[in-house]
Structure 1
Amino acid sequence: MATHLKNLSDFSHTTIPSAKGYRFGIVTAQWNADVTGALYKGAYDLLLKQGANPEDILSVLVPGSYELISGADLLLSKQNLDAVICLGCVIQGETPHFDYICNAVANGIANVSIKHAKPVIFGVLTTLNQDQAMDRAGGKHGNKGDEAAATAILMVELEKNL
């Protein structure tokens, strides 16, 4: 979690293993594209930095954060992947729509992970405003895309070692 005390992209507390030989899906919401594009770049670049081959990273776009659920499910149903990273951004507005979408996306992503017995990573920003989103998409709080990719690698490695 990003706070004034922690940068999302600080991995000094853990060692991220190699991503070489693993296959990843990245599902990115097109809504709030300036934010989700930065999240995608963070995730993709970290996978490469940790040794993933570009050919082993399958990237798809979906219209919005709600569609991350079916995007992840489709990827895992049709591709041989070790993990899927879901990247989106929901910014609170004036109606309760924010609450419904955030809850549905969180539960839906968890259900896809359980259904396929594969790591499906929640890299969705749920912020009060655009500034908070940008702060977490490469700004002063780091990049949640980096965090999501690191989590995917760590979970795939956990599965391998069990």
Structure 2
Amino acid sequence: MSVNFIDGIKPCQDAKVGIVVSRFNSFICERLLDGALDTLKREGQVCDENITVVRVPGAIEIPLALEAMAKSGKYDALIALGCVIRGATYHFEVVANECAKGITQVTLSNRMIVSNGVLTTNTLDEAVQRAGSKAGNKGSEAASAALEMINVMRQLKD
């Protein structure tokens, strides 16, 4: 008896990908977006016309836009990009937790690939490091995961 392995590969030229990116902390979020777009095009070989970018005010609005995109049936995968930096109040926990919960809900209720690239950091320096500095680019990593999952899910359907 042989074991069947399903592995995701990166290239998927025909993939349609939606990205929801927060405008809040835009100096970080735009770097995440640049990383995601570069990975989609370079590793995934996804053409520009198959990528849609939706900008929303902040991280708390990301799940609603993802939900609308998921329900449209136009996308093979969605990517959430944002940045929530801890402040002096409880607001950080509320925004970070509800955003993550909303992203997961969209994934499960729509059986949709949603890659979470929303940073939740203690400091601005940590966010900078995760948006293309010492800790890589989490937008790029989210795009890479989305590409891999597109191919995994396609194989599971076959």
TM-score under structure 1 length normalisation: 0.89
Instruction: State how many pairs are aligned.
Output: 149
1:114-145, Cα deviation, whole Å (9 max, x unpaired): 12111111101000111110000011111000
In the alignment, is the contact (CA less than 8 A) between 1:69 and 1:112 conserved in 2? yes
The 5 A counterparts of 1:107-146 are 107-146=101-140
Q: Which position in structure 2 is the counterpart of 1:38? A: 31
Q: How does 1:70-149 map to 2 (within 5 A)?
A: 70-149=64-143
Secondary structure, in 3 states, of the residue corresponding to 2:12? coil
Q: Percent sequence identity over matched residues?
A: 38
> Counterpart in 2 of 1:48?
41
Runs of 4+ with >2 A deviation: none
Superposed CA deviations along residues 25-47 of structure 1, whole A, max 9, x for unmatched, are 00000000000000000001100
Find the aligned partners of 2:25 and 2:82 in 1 and give their Cα distance.
8
User: Which residue matches 2:10?
Assistant: 17
Distance 1:74 1:58 in 2: 13
Match of 1:157 in 2: 151
Give 1:15 deviation, angstroms: 7.6
Counterpart-to-counterpart distance in 2, 1:77 and 1:88: 21
The one-letter amino acid of 1:40's match is L
**TM-score (normalizing by structure 2):** 0.91
